[in-house]
Amino acid sequence: MQDKDGKAFSDASLLLAEDDLLNADIACRILRKLGCHIEVASDGFMATRMWEEGDFDLILMDCEMAEMDGFDASRKIREREKEAGRRHTPIVALSAHAPAEIRERCLAAGMDDVLAKPFREALLRDTLQAWIGGEKPVRAAVDEQPVRLAAVSVDRRVLDSITAFQGSSGQLLLKSIVGRFADAAHTQLGLLRKNHTEGETEEVRRIAHTLKSSSAALGANCVSQCCAEIEKQASKGETAPLPAALSALEQELSAALRNLREIVGEREELHRVHG
């Protein structure tokens, strides 16, 4: 299942349950680089159905999805395992919340472990080694803490740490991902304003949560932090501060997209010079 260096999982079959297309694409690229075979479910209903029909070594389960969330999907899978006498499939929760904050709820739903989003590639690899390789995971105290985002428009270290963005093919992928992120983020900003106007605070919370995760995955930390604040306000039903928060988000998004495009341009020039 893994090579002698513990870096490849050429025989591993994974099910990724993630309703954000951008997050799913980035995760799939990373996992395929590690040698995994991946199938993607866009909601909890699809995840349970694909698990029923397939044979997976591990499930990566986003906690918050439309239709059916990761908690209900995990409960369904555990119920069916007992009813059908199927082997236990490890389920690792993916959450934008700190693992320490949500771990108890995940374990109660039948999940085995928790990874914070955006997850670090090295920690993801360690998690695969633990649950697929049969070693019990050992979590350092730092892994239980929220991911602290540097207060910068774009943290280049995040992009540099993603091996799928390296090399000439990685440069093309990053350019494509940034373009898709820009389109999706502009759409989400419009939906945030629309739902705020219509008083749909739960939808505001949900959209902000999604954009918080996808922006952090590209190192757009200030955008992610703005979204976290909007999510917090909406979850409390505090609508008065939202217009100012949405304006701040618009400014930070413009800055992040400008910086991301500059990074793409720099990498293209570097690749052109060094061929």
Encode pLDDT of 133-184 as tens digits: 766 555 543 344 444 555 678 999 989 888 888 888 888 899 999 999 999 9
User: Mind listing the pLDDT tens digit for each residue in 87-125?
Assistant: 999 999 998 776 677 889 999 999 999 998 877 788 888
Closest to 86 (Cα-Cα) out of 46, 59, 124, 115: 59
Lowest-pLDDT range of 85-89, 254-258, 264-268: 264-268
Per-residue confidence (pLDDT) for residue 138, from 0 to 100: 53
Residue 24 vs residues 18, 94, 189, 230: alpha-carbon distances, Å: 6, 11, 20, 23
Find the mean pLDDT for residues 13-42. Answer: 92
SS3 15: strand
DSSP letter (8 states) at residue 59? E
For the chain, the straight-line distance linking the first and the last C-alpha, in angstroms and rounded, comes to 36
Structure confidence at residue 5 as a pLDDT band (50, 70, 90) = very low
Is the pLDDT at 22 greater than 70? The verdict is yes
**DSSP letters of 68-79?**
S-HHHHHHHHHH
d(CA 154, CA 57) in angstroms, rounded, equals 35
| Dihedral pair phi/psi, residue 33, rounded to 5° | -60, -30
pLDDT, residue 137, reads 53
Evaluate whether 208 touches 185 at the Cβ level (below 8 Å): no
Q: Is the peptide bond before 118 cis (omega within 30 degrees of 0)?
A: yes
Q: Predicted confidence band at 10 (pLDDT cuts at 50, 70, 90)?
A: low
The position carrying tokens 């618009």 is 250
Nearest to 174 by CA among 260, 49, 111: 260
H or E segment to which residue 100 belongs: helix 99-108
Inter-CA distances, 215 with 11, 167, 261, Å: 31, 22, 14
pTM, to two decimals: 0.83
* The predicted structure's pLDDT at residue 140: 40
**Count of H-run helices and E-run strands, the chain:** 10, 5
Domains of the chain: 13-144 (3.40.50.2300), 156-274 (1.20.120.160)
pLDDT for position 3: 46
Give the helix/strand (H/E) hosting 113: strand 113-116
State how far the Cα of 130 lies from the Cα of 32, in Å rounded to an integer. Answer: 18
Q: How far apart are CA 109 and CA 210, in angstroms?
A: 22
Cα 102 to Cα 236: distance, rounded to the nearest angstrom: 18
List all residues 6 or more positions away from 159 whose beta carbon is below 8 Å from its beta carbon.
165, 174, 218, 219, 263
Please tell me the predicted confidence (pLDDT) of residue 66: 80
* Mean pLDDT of all residues belonging to the chain: 87
